[in-house]
Structures are given as structure tokens and as C-alpha cells.
Amino acid sequence: MKVAVLALQGAFIEHEQMLQRLGVETTEVRNLDDWQQYVQSIGTNDQARLIIPGGESTAMTRIIRDEGLYQPIRQAILEGMPVLGTCAGLIMLDDQHLGTMDIQVRRNAYGRQLGSFNHVADVQEIGHSFPMTYIRAPYIESVGPAVQVLAEVDGHIVAARQGRQLVCAFHPELTSDTRLHEYFVQL
């Protein structure tokens, strides 16, 4: 198995390190060529998977559009490619950006950096006491009927799944807990 990590900006190396710990190969996607090569390299017994990391969603949106990555990635997700979006990656999948998930997101929902925090909570399907790091994080304000809510903190949705799209407002790649990544590679 080889997982593509969108490497335009942000904490993509941390996701790669997480997958390497699980013995999963990774490749960085920085432009359309990288993406096309990755898709072609996937054999018929395997399938493409993508991680959209944390970072700044405005920066990623700018580059994803200019590099011609917007349509092919959107198309692949709509055709059922598993995708994991963390923090900015969650924002990228919402109805205002790639629009593949039926979620409405509030950006910088906890305010500026002074509002960043750590927390521990259960995540459905993934397990108990999951460590959660929130950095200038968003949360999900509302979801459509196809979306399964996986975790809530203080009444706000912080993790959700729609088909093979998995999102969280926190950063599992910044902790040593690999459970969420294990779940993703089995989606």
C-alpha cells in the first residue's frame, strides 16, 4: 500500500512519519505531475489514498487551484478514494472548498493561538481516550444526513466520517497514537 500526502504546505512530514511507523509507504504530492504519477503507480489490487494535512487552508486552496489539482482530487474522492483530512484538511473537504463532504465548518473556531489546547476524548470506531491537539482549530457546525459524527467536544463536532472520507479538527499526526491512521488505511 502507498498513501499520497498532499505536501503543498503544513504538517505533511508528520503524517508521513506516522504512516512509516505503521509500515505504510508514502509519497508527496506537490503538483499535478506528482498526482498523476501516483495514480498511475497504483496497481489494480491496490487503491489510491490521500491525506490532506494541517496547515493553512487559504494557502493550500490557492496552490491546489493554481496547480490544477482541484478537479482531479475532487473527482477521485467522489469516485470513492479514501481521504483523511486533519484540521486544515477538514476545511478543505467542506462545502466551501472541495465540497466532497456534507459538512459546514467554522474556521478558527477556538480563536487565535492563545485558544489552542490539548484534550482527551473518545472517538467512535477508533477508540477510547484519544489524545487531541487543537491548534487554531476549526470545528464542524452542522452535518448532512450522510455524515456520521465520530466525536464531539463541548457539544461541537470534532471528528466525522462520510463514506470513505474521514476528518478531524485535531492533529493525530502530532501525537504518538497511531489508531486513527490505522483506521484510515483500512477504510
Partner 1 sequence: MEDRTQLNRQLAQMLKGGVIMDVTTPEQARIAEAAGACAVMALERIPADIRAAGGVSRMSDPKMIKGIQESVTIPVMAKCRIGHFVEAQILEAIEIDYIDESEVLSPADDVYHIDKRQFKVPFVCGAKDLGEALRRINEGATMIRTKGEPGTGDVIQAVRHMRKMQSEIRRLSSMSEDELYEAAKQLAVPYELVRYVHDNGRLPVVNFAAGGVATPADAALMMQLGAEGVFVGSGIFKSGDPAKRAQAIVKAVTNYQNPAILAELSEDLGEAMVGINEQEIALLMAERGK
Residue 184 half-sphere exposure toward CB, CA atoms < 13 A: 32
Least gap, CB of 46 to partner 1 (angstroms): 26
How would you write the chain as a 3-class SS string?
CEEEEECCCCCHHHHHHHHHHCCCEEEEECCHHHHHHHHHHCCCCCCCCEEECCCCHHHHHHHHHHCCCHHHHHHHHHCCCCEEEECHHHHHCCCCCCCCCCEEEECCCCCCHHHCEEEEEEECCCEEEEEEEECCCCEEEEECCCCEEEEEECCEEEEEEECCEEEECCCHHHCCCCHHHHHHHCC
Q: Which of 15, 136, 161, 181 binds partner 1 (CB under 8 A)?
A: 136
Does 28 qualify as catalytic in the annotation? Answer: no
Q: Does 4 bind partner 1 (CB under 8 A)?
A: no
Does 173 qualify as catalytic in the annotation? Answer: yes
Judged by CB under 8 A, which stretch of 50-58, 68-76, 77-85, 147-155 contacts partner 1? 50-58
Q: Does 36 bind partner 1 (CB under 8 A)?
A: no
Q: Which of 133, 150, 172, 184 binds partner 1 (CB under 8 A)?
A: 133
Instruction: Output 171 or 181, the one with its CB closest to partner 1.
Output: 171
Q: Does 58 bind partner 1 (CB under 8 A)?
A: yes
Mark 139-158 with x for binding to partner 1 (rule: CB under 8 A) and - for no binding. --------------------
Contact residues: partner 1, CB under 8 A: 7-14, 30-31, 54-56, 58-59, 62-63, 66-67, 87-88, 107-108, 111-114, 116-118, 133, 135-136, 171, 174
Q: Which residues are catalytic?
A: 87, 171, 173
